[in-house]
Homo-oligomer: A and B are copies of this chain.
């Protein structure tokens, strides 16, 4: 009898908390972190999305708002430690196909569900945070990357382009490609693990600069999500899905910066918002941090139905 297919659904649930991009993780004690995931039941589930919403709520006591499909991963050998996804054709080795989803929510409240926590997204990709200039983690891993590339005719240009080597500019969208390069180079702990090998010495030496690993292919899915989200920021007003009803323009800018991982030019960011008529002042003020109180704004959701609406421009701050 032939090997069976199990479809696993994984959710990247993202939010903003204290000016940082965070994701919902599940971490059974002692184990690496993972994303909320569950099996797709071909009998009972009418659509992927409904199944996803149901098990995320069950697992984390959290209701999803905005949801979109990311990618379906089916490579043999990268699904290793997800052996049993609950009931269904377990016992015998099943072929696991994983469908990744991205969910956004304005409320990063603690759910009190066991083993569930909001984790700083960039902890898994420390080289992705350029808000305060070139990240230290990148400097730390550069030697290992360059050693892997050597003078190789395709590796070296690829490294240059993806990791801003030799004066190449940083492109914040290519999160997945960067992670895949690290995996190929054997610099992601998951690479050795998936082959059943012990961790490489180079990986152990670099430690946290390589980012925290996750179970199964979850870090890959997380990288896919960040790539998608950073790209989408620019052509859809998705950032408002992680903002509360009322927010200050600075909070909005900090949210965009946290997701995109780059510092933005304050005034040009505001001018772009204004021109697009995306936000509206509420007259009310925010009485908060030290300094002049900021006006509260709201997203003009009504423009979504009324005209083709693009995202935000990212006016970079020169460094």
Could you tell me which A residues sit within 8 Å of B by CB distance?
Answer: 2-7, 40, 42-43, 45-48, 69, 71-72, 74-77, 88-89, 94-95, 97, 99, 154, 157-158, 161, 168-169, 171, 305-308
Contact = CB atoms under 8 A, between A and B. Distances in A.
A158 B308 CA distance: 11
Q: Main SS of the interface on chain A?
A: loop
A42 B169 contact: no
A308 B76 contact: no
Given A71-B69, A74-B47, A42 B95 contact: yes
Contact of A42 (B5, B47, B71, B171): B5
A157 to B, nearest CB: 4
Contacts of A5: 4-7, 40, 42
Nearest to A174: B308
Contacts of A94: 42
Contacts of A69: 71-72
A90 B75 CA distance: 24
A40 to B, nearest CB: 7
Given A2-B88, A7-B97, A43-B3, A169 B308 contact: yes
Copies of this chain in the oligomer: 2
A307 B162 CA distance: 9
B308 A161 contact: yes
A168 B303 CA distance: 13
A46 B75 contact: yes
A42 B7 contact: no
Given A5-B7, A74-B99, 8 more contacts: A7-B97, A46-B75, A46-B76, A46-B77, A48-B72, A48-B74, A157-B306, A161-B306
Nearest to A308: B171
Contacts of A47: 74-76
Q: Give 9 nearest A-B pairs by CB, closest first.
A: A42-B95, A157-B305, A72-B72, A5-B5, A46-B76, A48-B74, A5-B42, A3-B42, A3-B43
A168 B46 CA distance: 35
Nearest to A88: B2
23 contacts: A2-B42, A2-B88, A2-B89, A3-B42, A4-B5, A4-B42, A5-B5, A5-B6, A5-B7, A5-B42, A7-B74, A40-B74, A42-B94, A42-B95, A46-B77, A47-B75, A69-B71, A157-B305, A161-B305, A161-B306, A161-B308, A168-B307, A171-B308
Contacts of A74: 7, 40, 47-48, 99
A74 B101 CA distance: 13
